[in-house]
């Protein structure tokens, strides 16, 4: 809360405290209402709306909301004190003055609170579903609602500070070209997702890389095909990118199953001449034992029902030939073992792999915080989906951990939840990754 003790916010606090408790003034001079309402609305519009160091409208609105919520909490103290004084002065003779003053204060406070909570609910990426739900559930429980509100203010304030700092770093002239690689970057998504402009699979990563000079393309392949068919689509897509851009080659960064798709495309479909480097992120190169056990344990009826529902949904979203069961089967340990025996290593291509593991899953985001323990029983230490023993491939392998209790999940590695994780900055990691490709002349 210390960040709110600035001169502008102290002025806002004083003005809000006066306005919220101005009923007795209005009763004496009703014409003051003509002044009080516009001033109240103006203060609601201006407080915290222009934090220094950011051009992001989302961050400005988030800071605006957090500031209003902090002012709401701070204003409760003078409001309570004033109404205790008023009660002593008016009771029992003029008790209606106390009632109307309290109602007036509650109404304006509710408007102040509503403005703030709507702003942070609509703009914060760090609150997640968890704190949004807790905020709603605890909203009508005295004392507890203030505790939860204080937590929401702290989360959103930290988010604003972090994003402003990231923006300052991103726009520093000295860092404007550190990701300007010789060949463009092609980001390849994993299973069960599509490249979508409305919800970027890679979160805040592409924008960060672009700010540092990178040129970014996407695989744009279907969400669930066999490795072979996904590889066929990616081969055509990457050849098209090189043809239209004249870049000759690309640097591929592929997540999860996307890494297997790219390896297959390079080995079996002649994509090697078009690839300068391949970096796989949390890819199950040796497959997932738990996926195999699930397929074995599920009945044919259950598997078909799930597959039919998935395939129908993603046909409606644009996939031409989704095949849920075939895609999942290719991720099993036995299927990956057969594939590894078949695929050749990409000579002349810089090949590396990255993996991460979770530490205490309850600190992570749903649903990987739940699947972690199940996967651990079959694949050992894991990221919520893939065991650590399956990540390593290529001439360089990097395993990411955190010092804290959070760990880094399969989804965290693509910034799926847009979460600022303590001890791990996903955007900084990808900046360093691409910067290293640049230093290698790629």
Dist CA 412 CA 420 (whole Å): 10
Q: What are the residues whose beta carbons fall under 8 Å from the beta carbon of 355, sequence distance 6 or more? A: 282, 383, 386, 388, 390, 391, 392, 397, 398, 399, 400
Q: What pLDDT is recorded for position 367?
A: 67
Q: What pLDDT is recorded for position 293?
A: 83
**141 and 245 both lie in a single domain:** no
Q: What is the DSSP string of 220-259?
A: ---SS--HHHHHHHHHHHHHHHHHHH--S-EEEEEETHHH
Q: Hey, what are 32's tokens?
A: 């003051």
CA nearest neighbour of 204 among 181, 187, 222 = 187
Number of domains in the chain: 2
Q: What pLDDT is recorded for position 378?
A: 85
**183 and 141 both lie in a single domain:** no
Dist CA 299 CA 283 (whole Å): 27
Dist CA 300 CA 60 (whole Å): 52
Q: What is the pLDDT of residues 310-350, one digit of tens each?
A: 889 888 888 889 899 989 999 999 999 999 999 988 789 99
Strand partners, 280: 254, 353
Dist CA 162 CA 181 (whole Å): 27
**427 and 349 both lie in a single domain:** yes
Burial of 75 (0-12, 13-18, 19+ CB in 10 A): buried
Cα torsion at 262, 265, 268, 270 (round to 10°)?
-130
**151 and 186 both lie in a single domain:** no
**143 and 205 both lie in a single domain:** no
**143 and 230 both lie in a single domain:** no
Which of 112, 144, 169 is the last residue before a domain boundary?
Answer: 169
List of E strands, 14-158: none
Dist CA 207 CA 373 (whole Å): 34
**376 and 244 both lie in a single domain:** yes
Q: What pLDDT is recorded for position 4?
A: 61
Helix%, strand%, coil% for the chain, nearest 5: 60, 10, 30
CB 381 within 8 A of CB 344: no
Q: What pLDDT is recorded for position 3?
A: 60
Which of 169, 185, 212 is the last residue before a domain boundary?
Answer: 169
Dist CA 193 CA 195 (whole Å): 7
Sign of CA dihedral 51, 52, 58, 62: negative
Tell me the average confidence (pLDDT) per consecutive run of 10 residues in the chain, 442 residues long: 71 93 90 91 92 87 94 94 87 82 94 95 88 89 91 92 82 81 96 85 93 94 93 96 94 97 95 96 93 83 87 88 90 92 89 91 67 84 91 95 85 90 90 96 94
CB 397 within 8 A of CB 355: yes
CA separation, residue 100 to residues 72, 109, 265 (Å): 20, 14, 74
**208 and 343 both lie in a single domain:** yes
Dist CA 286 CA 438 (whole Å): 29
Strand partners, 352: 279, 396
Q: What is the pLDDT of residues 255-272, one digit of tens each?
A: 999 999 999 999 999 999
CB 55 within 8 A of CB 167: yes
Q: What pLDDT is recorded for position 363?
A: 64
**136 and 272 both lie in a single domain:** no
**CATH number, domain containing residue 332:** 3.40.50.1820
Which of 145, 169, 193 is the last residue before a domain boundary?
Answer: 169
CB 354 within 8 A of CB 400: yes
Q: What phi and psi values does residue 186 have, to the nearest 5 degrees?
A: -115, 120
**95 and 144 both lie in a single domain:** yes
Determine which helix (DSSP H) or strand (DSSP E) holds 252, and give its type and residue range: strand 250-255
**26 and 85 both lie in a single domain:** yes
Q: Which domain holds residue 147?
A: 2-169
Q: What is the DSSP string of 342-362?
A: HPPP-TTSEEEEEEE-BS-GG
Q: What phi and psi values does residue 270 have, to the nearest 5 degrees?
A: 70, 30
Dist CA 407 CA 290 (whole Å): 20
CB 423 within 8 A of CB 406: yes
Q: What is the value of pTM for the model shown?
A: 0.81
Pairing assessment for the beta strands 350-356 and 216-218 based on DSSP bridges = unpaired
CB 41 within 8 A of CB 112: no
CB 78 within 8 A of CB 21: yes
**15 and 161 both lie in a single domain:** yes
């Amino acid at each position: 809360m210390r960040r709110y003790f600035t001169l502008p916010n102290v002025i806002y606090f004083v003005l809000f405290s006066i306005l919220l408790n101005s009923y007795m003034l209005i009763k004496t001079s009703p014409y003051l209402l003509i002044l009080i309402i516009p001033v109240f609305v103006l203060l609601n519009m201006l407080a915290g709306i222009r934090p220094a160091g950011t051009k992001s409208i989302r961050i400005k609105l988030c800071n605006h909301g957090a500031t209003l919520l902090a002012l709401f909490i701070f204003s409760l103290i003078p409001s309570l004190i004033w109404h205790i004084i008023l009660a002593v002065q008016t009771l029992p003779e003029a008790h209606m003055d106390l009632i109307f003053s309290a109602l007036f204060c509650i109404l304006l406070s509710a408007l102040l609170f509503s403005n703030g909570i709507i702003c942070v609910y609509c703009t914060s990426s760090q609150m997640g579903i968890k704190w949004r739900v807790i905020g709603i559930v605890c909203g009508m429980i005295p004392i507890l609602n203030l505790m939860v509100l204080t937590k929401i203010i702290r989360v959103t304030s930290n988010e604003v500070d972090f994003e402003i700092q990231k923006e300052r770093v991103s726009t520093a002239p000295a860092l404007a070209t550190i990701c300007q690689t010789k060949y463009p970057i092609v980001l390849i998504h994993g299973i069960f997702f599509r490249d979508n402009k409305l919800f970027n699979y890679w979160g805040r990563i592409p924008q960060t890389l672009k700010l540092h000079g990178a040129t970014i393309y996407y695989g744009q392949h279907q969400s669930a095909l066999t490795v072979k068919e996904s590889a066929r689509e990616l081969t055509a897509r990457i050849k098209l990118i090189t043809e239209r851009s004249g870049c000759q080659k690309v640097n591929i960064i592929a997540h999860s199953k996307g890494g297997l798709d790219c390896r297959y495309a390079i080995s079996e479909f002649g994509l090697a001449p078009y690839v300068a480097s391949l970096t796989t992120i949390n890819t199950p190169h040796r497959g997932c034992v738990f996926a195999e056990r699930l397929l074995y344990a599920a009945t044919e009826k259950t598997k078909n029902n799930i597959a039919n529902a998935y395939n129908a949904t993603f046909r409606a979203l644009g996939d031409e030939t989704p095949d849920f069961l075939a895609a999942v089967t290719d991720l099993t340990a036995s299927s990956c073992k057969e594939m590894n025996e078949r695929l050749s290593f990409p000579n002349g291509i810089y090949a590396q792999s990255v993996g991460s593991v979770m530490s205490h899953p309850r600190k992570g985001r749903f649903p990987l915080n739940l699947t972690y323990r199940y996967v651990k029983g079959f694949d050992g230490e894991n990221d919520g989906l893939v065991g650590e023993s399956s990540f390593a491939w290529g001439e360089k392998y990097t395993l990411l951990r955190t010092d804290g209790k959070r760990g880094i999940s399969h989804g965290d590695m693509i910034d799926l939840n847009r979460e600022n994780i303590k001890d791990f900055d996903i955007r900084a990691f990808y900046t360093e990754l691409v910067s290293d490709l640049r230093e290698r002349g790629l």
